[in-house]
Amino acid sequence: MILSHPLLDDLNSEQQQAVSIAGGPVMVVAGAGSGKTRVLTHRIAYLIQEMGVRPDAILAITFTNKAAREMRDRVGELLGATVNNMWVSTFHSACARILRREAHVFGYRSNFSIYDRSDSVRLVKHCLNDLGLDASRLSPRGLLNKISGAKNDLVDYETFLDRAEGPMEVAEVYKLYQQRLLQMSAMDFDDLLMVTVELFGAVPEVLAKYQHIFRHVLVDEYQDTNRAQYLLVRDLARKHRSLFVVGDSDQSIYAFRGADYRNFDRFDDDFPESRRVTLNRNYRSTSTILDAANEVISANLRADPKDLWCDQGEGERITVHQGHGSVREAQFVARRAKKLVAQGYNPADMAVFYRTNAQSRAFEEALRRAKLPYQVVGAVAFYQRGEVKDVVAYLQVVSNPDDGVALRRIINTPRRGIGRTSLGHIERYVSDQEVSLREALEVADDIPGISTRARKGVKELADVLGRIRGHLESEGVGRAAESAIFDTRIAEMATAAGGIEAEARSDNLAELSRVAYEFESSLEADLPPMERLGRFLEGASLVSDPDNLDEGAGAVALMTVHSAKGLEFPVVFVVGMQDGLFPHERSISDPDELEEERRLFYVAITRSMERLHLSWDDTRMVGGYPYPQVPSRFLREIPDRLVEKVGGPAFQPGSNASTASAGLATSGGAVRPFRGIVRQSGFEVGDRVRHPDWGLGRVLTISGRGMRASATVFFPDLKERRELMLSVVERVSGFGP
DNA sequence: CATAGCGGGTTTTTT
DNA sequence: ACCCGCTATG
């Protein structure tokens, strides 16, 4: 049945059904390219226009801030008016906003700081130090991952302690870390979610209040919600039961940060009256691309077959290119891109996806040489750059003087004579007197052992912070940022170091100042200065990589496959298609993780509309040494009829044997041990091994630790690679330079 | 107190 | 190859 209605006219019947369902919980299972964004925007417009819902009763969760902006605009266009007071944001932004108002219940101040990954790592290091634990033995990063994992599962440190999983040290660190965060009025990314859920659990009135406000909740990319996010949604929607979620479990790619596609099943349990609509018509890709995607994903035991179909025609075959060295792989991409531009494509129609950020360099270089404009999304993000973080840290301290991480960052940046010795005395005072760093600095003159120079430095710091605050209060955020750039002499410092970098640093600072002024003008006029600054800092903390993709830039986009989620491009290059890279070696030994890698590849493929180019490189540099590479197992999952092979004489369809030995031959004696792996397993890539049944073989990749290391080994006699535990093979000497 | 130089560890993906 | 923290030196 096709309904006739302005909001429904250009939708297919399944989309119409989803958009116009009367009420109650709805789950839309939306295959790749099936128009889920359309459905969401139309649904919101429909709620407002047809069901008389007030925009401020709607909470819509998107995966990026950019998607939120676009959704808001799109709804506005559909309704022919700008929509105000509708909450369209990411989980993290929405939680931050709620917590600004409510977190005082738990003792956080409303101006709490939001810590990114690197801030959190710093804090963990401090905690390790103060607990007298050895940071080189317990990696701060690793600890943070454990803490983060616990938080995503809503396990607080007390519960963590009770359960006493693993060594007590982790629990100790977790506890201190969390106490410090609270003392400093700071939250990490995971806290934003966890504390909100805890708040709803602990204070029923607060939950009731937000249930009342958000009578209608919509969630995009539902397959990537973690436990905290799931509970948040469930709690909010429990009362009015108007919950509309859209997702595709085959595109679930964030398990490493707690995402759980089983939230699909839980949805049915918690909302048994829910209705389900499946969208399986693809509007994005050619049938060639779609067939490849369907084949690849069907290799997953846990695939959720949606029988995607389309009528966009066959289009071009998928090219698979073998490069020889990353330079040539990148050259291939650049040349092909150039050719397509000559054929009428815009550089902005094209994107290069890779598994890891570290791969971007070669492609940047090649595109630069080909004189094609490009933009790298993510990688070393703007707000992560040293000089930018410094300025932001000053502003952060102005906003929240208890923010010890920010304060430690700027205390002697630029140098003002507060060196290790003085800082040591101050830190001792902090722990002895149990005061905050801010309080210690206020009485620095009375702390023994501090040099005159350092005392002066502390005073200078206080002065400059005062100045920034003054500018903020009289002239606003833009001027405050400028003050934090120039009055602190960070601008001077940025130029002074010289080199090509100097210019880039100055540009970054100029950009930061511009962004601050621009942000300022987007705020309501009656907001007090401190609150304006808080909003600015919050925005800076919560920008995501894809947020700064500029479609209007006319440039080829370079990004990780993760960042590419939700995007589409006429031409897509997926590069680095090698076993050990994609799928990543860390995932190969675990079937679940391997399936996640395959979903990731599925996401990559399904971004492309017209042309898909896959490429792999038969050598790879790790730590300065070349390593032989074999093509990704995923390439073999694409039927030959869809593929055209380009380049690489060694490439033989369906066989990795020739390429593996070719890779070894070309790198020859240059294959060297990767030190870290040697220490862990005693084996090296390139080692010859003997297996009781399969004979002699050569180690291609190693993953895992100690005696439990596993490897992919190529056995010439079998003409194939096998995965095995290294402990079951015997090493054979005689290989090497 | 600042800086240069060295040794050790290291990257998967991200809000 | 790169980043970080430690140490020796100015």
Q: Of all nucleotides in the shown strands, which has a C1' nearest the CA of A65?
A: B15
In chain A, residues 340 through 369 whose Cβ sits under 7 angstroms from any atom of nucleic acid strand B: 355-358
H helices, E strands: number in chain A: 29, 22
Local structure of A609: helix, strand or coil:
strand
Spacing of A138 CA from B9 C1' in Å: 12
Q: Is the CB of A624 under 7 A from strand C?
A: yes
What is the number of other CB atoms lying within 10 angstroms of the CB of residue A315? 17
For A139-173, letters b (16+ CB in 10 Å) and e give: ebeebbebbbebbbbbbbbeebbeeeeeeeebbbb
pLDDT of residue A726 exceeding 80, the answer is no
Cβ A421 to strand B below 7 Å: yes
A623 Cβ within 7 A of any nucleic strand C atom: yes
Q: Of A176-190, A269-283, A295-309, A676-690, where does mean pLDDT reach its minimum?
A: A676-690
Q: Could you give the CA distance from residue A194 to residue A186 in angstroms, rounded to a whole number?
A: 13
Element (H, E) at A714: strand A710-715
In this predicted structure, what is the pLDDT of residue A423?
85
The answer to whether some atom of strand C lies closer than 7 Å to the beta carbon of A361 is: no
Question: Mean pLDDT across the stretch A715-734?
Answer: 64
pLDDT, position A283: 94
| A566 token code pair | 């939700």
Q: What is the mean pLDDT of residues A121-145?
A: 82
| Distance between CA atoms of residues A303 and A296, nearest Å | 10
| pLDDT tens readout for residues A2-51 | 556 777 778 889 999 999 998 889 999 999 999 999 999 999 999 999 99
Phi, psi values for residue A711, rounded to 5°: -145, 155
- Quick check: is A125 catalytic? no
Q: pLDDT (tens digit, 9 = 90+) per residue, A440-468? A: 999 888 888 788 888 888 999 999 999 99
Strand B at less than 7 A from CB of A676? yes
A440-447: long-range pairs with CB below 8 Å, 24+: A441/A407, A441/A411
| CA gap A97, A116 in Å, rounded | 17
Tokens of A729: 């093979």
Structure tokens given for A163: 């359960």
> Who contacts A497 (Cβ-Cβ below 8 Å, separation ≥6)?
A505
Give the residue-averaged pLDDT of A416-425. 84
DSSP string, A320-350: EEEESSHHHHHHHHHHHHHHHHHTT--GGGE
Known catalytic membership, residue A37: yes
Q: What is the 3-state secondary structure of A418-447?
A: CCHHHHHHHHHHHHHHCCCHHHHHHCHHHC
Query: pLDDT confidence of A682, banded at 50, 70, 90?
Result: low
pLDDT surpassing 60 at residue A309: yes
Structure tokens at A114: 């939001």
Beta bridge partners of A608: A569
pLDDT of residue A660: 34
Nucleotide whose C1' lies closest to the alpha carbon of residue A121: C4
Do residues A84 and A184 lie in contact, with contact meaning Cβ atoms separated by under 8 Å? no
What pLDDT does A702 receive?
Answer: 65
CA of A122 to C1' of C4 (A): 12
CA proximity to A407, closest of A423, A420, A428: A423
SS3 letters for A647-712? CCCCCECCECHHHHHHHHHHHHHHCCCCHHHHHHHCCCCCCEEEECCCEEEEEEEEECCHHHCEEE
Q: Name the DSSP letter for residue A634.
A: G
Cβ of A294 near strand B (under 7 Å)? The reply is: no
> Per mean pLDDT, which range of A107-121, A438-452, A475-489, A697-711 is the poorest?
A697-711
Q: Is the pLDDT of residue A728 over 70?
A: no
Mean pLDDT of chain A: 85
Which residue, A605, A602, A612, A607, is CA-closest to A567?
A: A607
Q: Based on the residue annotation, tell me whether A339 is a catalytic residue of this protein.
A: no
The model's confidence at residue A693, banded by pLDDT at 50, 70 and 90, is low
Query: Is A153 designated active site?
Result: no
Q: In a 10 Å sphere around its CB, with 0-12 CB exposed, 13-18 middle and 19+ buried, how is residue A610 labelled?
A: buried
Does pLDDT of A178 surpass 50? Answer: yes
A560: its two tokens = 């990780």
The mean per-residue pLDDT over the stretch A598-613 comes to: 96
Grade residue A624 by pLDDT with cuts at 50, 70 and 90. low
Q: Which nucleotides of strand C come closer than 7 angstroms to any CB of the protein? A: 1, 5
Q: Please say if A36 is a catalytic residue.
A: yes
pLDDT band at A720 (very low <50, low <70, confident <90, very high): low
pLDDT at residue A421 is higher than 90 = no
List, for residues A207-252, the tens digit of each pLDDT value: 999 999 999 999 999 999 999 999 999 999 999 999 999 999 999 9
Please report the pLDDT score of residue A677 as a whole number. 39
Please give the angle made by the CA atoms of A414, A417 and A418, to the nearest 5 degrees. Answer: 90
pLDDT, one tens digit per residue, over A528-581 is 999 999 999 999 999 888 888 888 888 999 999 999 999 999 999 999 999 889
Return the closest nucleotide (C1') to the Cα of A623. C1
Scan residues 656-675 of chain A and list those with Cβ within 7 Å of strand C: none
State the average pLDDT over residues A82-89: 88
| Residue pointed to by tokens 């399904």 | A606
Which percentage of chain A shows pLDDT scores above 90? 53
**Does the pLDDT at position A382 exceed 50?**
yes
Per-residue pLDDT for A625 more than 90?
A: no
Give the C-alpha separation, A613 to A618, whole Å: 17
**Distances from the Cα of A652 to the Cα of A326, A338, A646, A657, A659, angstroms:** 20, 27, 11, 8, 8
Using alpha carbons, list the distances in angstroms from residue A583 to A185, A590, A603, A618: 40, 11, 13, 15
Sign, CA torsion A519/A190/A62/A209: negative
> Is A606's pLDDT higher than 50?
yes
pTM of the model as a whole = 0.85
Residue nearest to nucleotide C2 (CA to C1'): A623
Nucleotide C5's nearest residue (CA vs C1') is A136
Residue A505 has pLDDT above 70, yes or no: yes
Percentage with pLDDT > 70 across chain A: 86
Q: Is the CB of A13 under 7 A from strand B?
A: no
Confidence of residue A339 (pLDDT cuts 50, 70, 90): very high
Question: Residue A416: pLDDT above 90?
Answer: no
Which nucleotide comes closest to A136 if you measure CA to C1'? B9
Determine whether A205 is an active site residue.
no
Amino acid residing at A221: E
Crossing angle of the two packed helices A65-79 and A36-50, in degrees rounded to 10: 50
